[in-house]
Structure 1
Amino acid sequence: MWGMHSGCAAYPGRMGVITVSAICFERADGTVLTVRKRGTDRWMLPGGKPEGGESAAECAVREVHEELGVEIAISALEPMGEFETVAANEAGFALRASVFRTRVEIAPRVQAEIEAARWIDPAVGIDDEAEAPLNRELVFPLLLGERSRS
């Protein structure tokens, strides 16, 4: 499923847009890895902003390596979608996120600007105000919808 999903009906054209790439790491038990950056209070999918010339997948792989010490092959990623919502930690900004998913088993090490990591069930995270809007409004409902159909 590679399409545009929007968590905010329409955001004003004047609002700044932050573009990111992220990876939804899913464990066999259905939990998803979320991380919290130092100095913030919102949990988000691991990832970050692209550097010049990087594809969305290359950005996601680089960011996860920098933040969690996890090396993952682009071939292990499956596009989950292009999502738009409000940014979690930058007030007044919209977020445009290319989200990939993988079930590759990882042992994340918190490093760089990441202060904490946790595995959370989307059924719990969807109601957790500390989870970023991207997760609560778009990614977790998508995962829970898949879960209910299987």
Structure 2
Amino acid sequence: MFYLPGGTPEAGESPAGTVIREVAEETGIRLDPATLQPFAEFVEPAHGRPGTVRLICFTGPGEGDPHPADEIAEAAWFTSADLEKCAPGLHPVIRRLADSGEIY
């Protein structure tokens, strides 16, 4: 299963700051805080463990070539036709991105 880059905020870190740090650590992509836009928030069942996950999602351009880093084993590009490859909690995120025209 594939997941989005993300993680737990560090002390005093904003959701946007967490996204910028985690995306850089996990994919090597650099995000500009000035161009980051809030997209949506989801609370979904956690995949492979009890409880839920809170996904605070942003959109914005990034710089660099994505590559798996840190604890990430593999990176890939997806469209809305690839839901079966993604953790179930990402399905509403991908659907909303497709509905808004962010992805196909």
* TM-score of Structure 1 vs Structure 2, range by shorter chain: 0.7 to 0.9
Q: Residue 28 of structure 2 is aligned with which of 58, 62, 69? A: 69
Aligned with 2:67: secondary structure? coil
1:56 is matched with 15
2:46 is matched with 87
Q: Percent identity?
A: 33
Q: State the AA in 1 paired with 2:86.
A: E
Name the CA distance, whole Å, in 2 between partners of 1:54 and 1:87. 23
1:78 aligns with 2:37: yes
How far 1:134 moved relative to its partner? Answer: 2.6
Larger radius of gyration: 1
- 1:109–1:120 distance in 2 versus 1, CA, 3 Å: same
How far 1:46 moved relative to its partner? Answer: 1.2
Higher-strand-fraction structure: 1
1:146 aligns with 2:100: yes
Name the CA distance, whole Å, in 2 between partners of 1:76 and 1:125. 27
Q: State the AA in 1 paired with 2:44.
A: T
Are 2:3 and 2:90, in contact at CA under 8 Å, matched by a contact in 1? Answer: yes
Q: Can you list the C-alpha shifts for 1:34-71, whole angstroms capped at 9, x where unaligned?
A: xxxxxxxx211112111111000000100111111222
Q: Residue 125 of structure 1 is aligned with which of 82, 92, 99? A: 82
Name the CA distance, whole Å, in 1 between partners of 2:50 and 2:90. 18
How far 1:105 moved relative to its partner? Answer: 5.5
How far 1:81 moved relative to its partner? Answer: 1.0
Aligned with 1:74: secondary structure? coil
The alignment's C-alpha RMSD in Å is 1.6
Q: Which runs of 4+ in 1 moved over 3 A?
A: 103-106
Aligned with 1:47: secondary structure? coil
Higher-helix-fraction structure: 2
1:33 is matched with none
> Where does structure 1 lack aligned partners over 5 or more consecutive residues?
1-41
Q: State the aligned residue count.
A: 101
